[in-house]
């Protein structure tokens, strides 16, 4: 059977078919473009961010707190502003630390401004000062590591020599809650926040005696030089009380409480320390002579400091060390003076830090090993 169509009906059918094909083409093209844009967005930003969060990024603002002794502030600020512009953020609030304010006051100002993330650019002292003001808040800490030790950055696996990536991680990284430690050097004294380690004795004496010019030239090897000059010091008699229950008396060279245990050179001083387990790891070092220091070094190198030669580690939530004389004390590598008393306690999940997402780690590796 043959169906005959008049010319008008034929043209209606042809035009209708062309309209359907055009619509299908436009929809497919639009979907393809959208799929391409979504792919690019997923590559540029972590997969844990929703589309709404990415589109709303223009409402976001970061504060960049910079230690001017560690870097060129204008250059770093320009880099941060360019990255914020590229990522759709508002220009950052840039503040500098001063001899009178190592970062806490600047952080309080940034919080008053309502920023979404506070980025600390400097060494461990700057990081600790900013963390002190952020602890107990919901505002995350981003880190641009510029110091000699960069201990917190090492312990949360941040990139150490890629400033641009450190800034991107601070903007779009994954939030991770970590513990902080608190320390007092008098029973009714001020409370100091630390993120890595606080110690009494040998380690603090090394920090206090490290030459700044040598540290600028040699980096962390300057601590080795200072340590070699302190090995023959005399031990101190201390009473150590764990969690207000268990007490020991000993002659020690150093007592150190840590929230995490990785040092420079991939050394694990506290091999079982976990930064978010709600516990402190307390290391007691008690060599009596140079020969016994070899045993200490062997224990640390073999990651057996918990029950090594002349070393012992105990986990607790609070520890009080009372010495028979005033000795040096350090907090996150910074000398805190001398005292015969040191109290340390853990504050679980008190600080939010920005760490790399899985996608960011892949991109960093891809840049390091281009095909």
Question: Pick the residue with more confidence: 341 or 13?
Answer: 341
Query: So what's the pLDDT on residue 222?
Result: 67
Q: How does pLDDT run across 38-83, given as a tens digit for each residue?
A: 433 444 444 444 545 545 555 899 999 999 999 999 999 999 999 9
Tokens at 319, concatenated: 């520890």
> Cα(292)–Cα(117) distance, rounded to whole angstroms?
47
* Predicted structure pTM score: 0.79
CATH code of the domain made up of 181-350: 2.60.200.40
Any idea which fold 58-173+356-366 has?
Rossmann fold (3.40.50)
> Which residue has tokens 């028979």?
324
Residue 64 parent element (H or E): strand 62-66
Query: So what's the pLDDT on residue 366?
Result: 85
In this prediction, residue 299 has a pLDDT band, given cuts at 50, 70 and 90, of low
Indicate the SS3 state at residue 360. Answer: helix
| DSSP tag of 357 | -
- What are the residue ranges spanned by the domains of the chain? 58-173+356-366, 181-350
Query: So what's the pLDDT on residue 35?
Result: 43
Query: So what's the pLDDT on residue 9?
Result: 54
How does 131-160 read in b/e, with b if 16+ C-beta sit within 10 Å?
A: bbbbbeeebbbbbbbbbbbbbbbbbbebbe
Same fold across 58-173+356-366 and 181-350: no
Query: So what's the pLDDT on residue 220?
Result: 59
* CB-CB neighbours of 286 under 10 Å: 18
């Amino acid at each position: 059977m043959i169906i005959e169509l008049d010319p008008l009906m034929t043209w209606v059918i042809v035009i209708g078919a062309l309209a359907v094909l055009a619509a299908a083409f436009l929809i497919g093209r639009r979907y393809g473009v959208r799929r391409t844009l979504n792919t690019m967005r997923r590559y540029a930003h972590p997969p844990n961010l929703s589309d709404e969060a990415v589109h709303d990024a223009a409402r976001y603002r970061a504060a960049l707190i910079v230690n001017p002794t560690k870097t060129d502030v204008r250059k770093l600020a320009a880099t941060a502003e360019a990255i914020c512009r590229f990522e759709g953020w508002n220009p950052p609030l840039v503040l500098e630390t001063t001899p009178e304010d190592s970062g806490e006051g600047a952080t309080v100002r940034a919080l008053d401004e309502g920023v979404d993330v506070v980025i600390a650019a400097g060494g461990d002292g700057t990081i600790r000062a900013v963390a002190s003001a952020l602890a107990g808040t919901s505002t995350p800490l981003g880190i641009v590591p510029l110091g000699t030790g960069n201990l917190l950055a090492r312990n949360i696996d941040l990139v150490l020599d890629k400033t641009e990536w450190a800034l991107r991680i601070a903007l779009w990284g994954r939030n991770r809650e970590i513990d902080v430690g608190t320390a007092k050097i008098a029973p009714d004294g001020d409370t100091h926040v630390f993120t890595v380690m606080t110690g009494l004795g040998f380690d603090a004496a090394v920090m206090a005696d490290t030459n700044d010019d040598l540290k600028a030239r040699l980096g962390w090897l300057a601590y080795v030089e200072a340590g070699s000059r302190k090995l023959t010091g005399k031990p101190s008699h201390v009473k150590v009380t764990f969690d207000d229950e268990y007490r020991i008396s000993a002659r020690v060279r150093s007592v150190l409480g840590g929230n995490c245990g990785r040092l420079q050179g991939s050394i694990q001083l506290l091999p079982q320390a976990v930064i978010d387990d709600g516990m402190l790891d307390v290391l007691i070092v008690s060599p009596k002579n140079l020969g016994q220091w070899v045993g200490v070094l062997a224990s640390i190198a073999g990651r057996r400091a918990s029950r090594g030669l002349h070393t012992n580690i105990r986990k607790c939530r609070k520890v009080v060390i009372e010495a028979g004389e005033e000795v040096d004390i350090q907090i996150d590598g910074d000398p805190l003076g001398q005292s015969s008393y040191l109290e340390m306690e853990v504050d679980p999940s008190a600080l939010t830090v920005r760490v790399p997402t899985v996608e960011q780690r892949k991109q960093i590796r891809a840049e390091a090993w281009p095909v």
